[in-house]
Amino acid sequence: FRTWLPPERVESIPNAVEIEGARDSGSGLPSPPFLLSVGRLTAEKGHADLVRAWAASPRLRDWSLVIAGAGPERAKLESLAEAEGVEARFRLPGRVRDPWPLYRAADLFVLPSRREGFPNALLEAMAAGACCVATDTGSGAREIIRDGENGKLVAGPRALREAIEALAASPERRALLGGRAREVAERYRPESIYPRWEALLARRARGGSRAHRLAAR
């Protein structure tokens, strides 16, 4: 809608994150240290870029990589890991019903997307206290991460690798950014987000503007 409606007539409401019901236990978690990414296995999610960056780094030789999710790129990612000689440290567990144990156990969460809307996985990982690195696609991650304060935003595969390597070498920095990342649980708590939807729908029920009717859809 932003491309053809005046900005003052568009209301943007982010998703909420709720962690109270998340279970803390998990079975079959990888041994640390490991990188984690969560998302549908499609080209725009940039997982191939992440595999290449991780596999090519001597500094990450002792790190495993877990990418949770399902999608058409699975076979390609498996083949890429084999070609890079890192298949023994690479895991594709598929769609994970409860990702919270993975978020909490990960030493570093990475969102390597080439295009992104509002990334729920990043929001959840930060709420769980994971240190996070995300590619800056111009929206989504930029709304959640304050670069250098509660996470790291990067531009492109080379910068992604450099950020991962730097954080992998600094447990103290990871702990600092992960601790600060938890504030998103307050910023995006349901009690803050849902009333905005209720207000928007109330305006629609009262016959609000055409722009609000379109945005509500």
Name the residue with tokens 């905005």. 196
Render 119-171 in DSSP notation, one character per residue. -HHHHHHHHTT--EEEE--SSTHHHH--BTTTBEEE-HHHHHHHHHHHHHT-H
Per-residue model confidence as pLDDT tens digits over 97-130: 899 999 999 999 999 999 988 899 999 999 999 9
* Token reading at 28: 């079959």
Q: In the predicted model, is pLDDT for residue 208 greater than 80?
A: no
pLDDT digits (tens, 9 = 90+) for 76-103: 999 999 999 999 999 999 999 899 999 9
Note the pLDDT of residue 213: 45
pLDDT tens digit sequence for 126-149: 999 999 999 999 888 999 999 999
Look-up of token digits 């600094």: 170
DSSP state of 2: T
Tell the residue number behind the tokens 């930029």, with chain if given: 142
